[in-house]
Each structure stands twice: as structure tokens, then as C-alpha cells.
Amino acid sequence: MTAQLIDGNALSRQLRAEVATRAAALKARGVTPGLAVVLVGDNPASQVYVRNKVKACEEAGLHSVLEKYDASMTEAELLARVEALNNDPSIHGILVQLPLPKHIDDHKVIEAISPLKDVDGFHVASAGALMVGEVGFKACTPYGCMKMLESIGMKDLRGKHAVVIGRSNIVGKPMAMMLLQANATVTICHSGTADLGAMTRQADVIVAAVGKRDVLTADMVKPGAVVIDVGMNRNDEGKLCGDVDFAGVKEVAGFITPVPGGVGPMTITMLLVNTMEAAERSAS
């Protein structure tokens, strides 16, 4: 058996076209959705990601502002910038690119962002809203994974067992909450899990979000399972690869997401969706 690919680029094109339509409608009412992206320091990967986010905004007709600062920027200076953006009516979403330089407390910076503009969904208020099923911004990566499941007819996961590998605040934990919200039975695995394969072999849906290559291999997957790969690693040849042994797992899984071209572009798409949502809320 060979798995069907869930194409994050194709799904992104579709969802971004919907954002563009909504953006045009809001602009006709005199409001242009605006995203501020704040980048501190010169992490080369961050430069690429941030450029992609700004480009995606432009293509969907969203206004974006890229603020680049030297790595020597102080925490107080950054907090002051966040506060200014909180009060800027032309900005509906604020994204402070992570990681931040070591002398800046990222938790403090994220909590300084107004929850109304927290399009990353990283604020404690956003995480709490997800937890209790209230309105709030959903973290873009797990939100994108949910849209990928929806695209293959798995919006309601009643009766399904989902196994999440990884427990980070930005992917693993919110992912588990969203799967739970969709009625899945959810297991969260992590570095302290005794027998990962025993868990994943029971899963109808597996989300790998560890940040390590080959965390999931073919022998750990039930035939026909859906495998979502959130990983972003480099292999020995320097090529981008996920957490899943793609070549092996695609022979067992029913559906699988590729890296690149899977969850990555969906993360950016959901950032646009959240920014659109923020602008619409502020205009209503």
C-alpha cells in the first residue's frame, strides 16, 4: 500500500484564495487587514520564514509591516514596540518571530501582545481559550494540521485514536487540545514515554512534532493510519526533512504529509486566516 499525499501547498492555495476574497470584502468597507512581523537578530532561518510570511500577506492582499531590529535590542525596547503595535489601529495581528536573543524573555514578550492581536495563538489567554473551548486565536501549526485532516474528510474524529508525539506549548499541547475538541481520543507521547511504538501502533491519526529525524518509522504505524509530520530538520545531505521516515512510512500509512510542502505552508496560511479573523472582529 502507498499512502495518499496531503498537499499543504495545494490546500494553502485554496485557503489563501478564500482569505484574499475576505480581505477584498473588508477593504471595500474601508479596513485593510494588517499584520506586523517583528524580527530581532539575524537568525538565518528566521529571515527566510519572515520573508515568506510577508510575501504570503502581499499575495492575499493583506497589509504587512516587517520590523527588523538588531540582536542588541533590549527587552524593554521590544516591549515598548509591542505596546505601540497593540495601540496601532492599522495593525490587527502581531507576530514576534521566535527564537528571540537569549537576553530577552520570550514569555514576557508574548504576554505583552494584546490577546486581540495574538495571531500566533501563543498568549496564555489564547491557550486558555482553546482549553475551555472559547473564542480565541488558535496556534497556527496545529490549526493547519486540523485543516489538513478536514481536507481528507476527518473533521469529526469521534471513535478515532489520535497520538501526538511532542508536548511543546506551540505545537504538541495545542494540537492535543484541538484533536480533543474534534472528539478524538487523544494520547500525548514525549521523551518520557516508555514504548512509543506501542502507542503509535494503536493510532488512527499520528502527529509527529518532536524536531528529530526518524522519530516515526514504518513498524510504528498501523496500516491505513493518517500521518502528519510537523518536523523541520535537515538530513545528512542538508535537505529539509521531517520527523517521519517518509520513505518507509508512506508504504504503510493511508495518508501522509510531505516535508517540505506539508505543514510548513499551512502554518503561514493559518497566520493569514487568524490575521483576517482579527481584522474582521475589530471591524464588526
Q: Is 232 in the site for ligand GUE (CB under 6 A)?
A: yes
Residues 112-151 that bind ligand GUE (CB under 6 A): 120, 140
Q: Is 257 in the site for ligand GUE (CB under 6 A)?
A: no
Q: Is 267 in the site for ligand GUE (CB under 6 A)?
A: yes
Q: Residue 164 has which C-alpha cell?
A: 501526538
- Cα torsion 159, 160, 164, 169: sign: negative
Q: Which listed residue (10, 71, 124, 240) binds ligand GUE by CB under 6 A?
A: 240
The pairs formed by 88-91 with CB atoms below 8 angstroms and a separation of 24 or more are 88/36, 89/282, 90/32, 90/34, 90/63, 91/34, 91/35, 91/36, 91/65, 91/117
Sequence letter at residue 279: A
**Number of shown-chain residues binding ligand GUE (CB under 6 A):** 18
Active site residues: 53, 97, 120
Nearest CB to ligand GUE, comparing residues 43 and 202: 43
Was 168 annotated as part of a binding site? yes
Sequence letter at residue 86: N
Q: Which listed residue (11, 26, 35, 95) binds ligand GUE by CB under 6 A?
A: 95
Nearest CB to ligand GUE, comparing residues 52 and 183: 52
Q: How many whole angstroms separate alpha carbon 284 and alpha carbon 21?
A: 17
Residue 244 · residue 254 · CB < 8 Å: no
Q: Residues comprising the binding site for NADP(+)?
A: 166-168
**Which residues of this chain interact with ligand GUE, rule CB under 6 A?**
48-49, 52, 95-98, 120, 140, 232, 240, 259-261, 264-265, 267-268
Known binding positions:
166-168
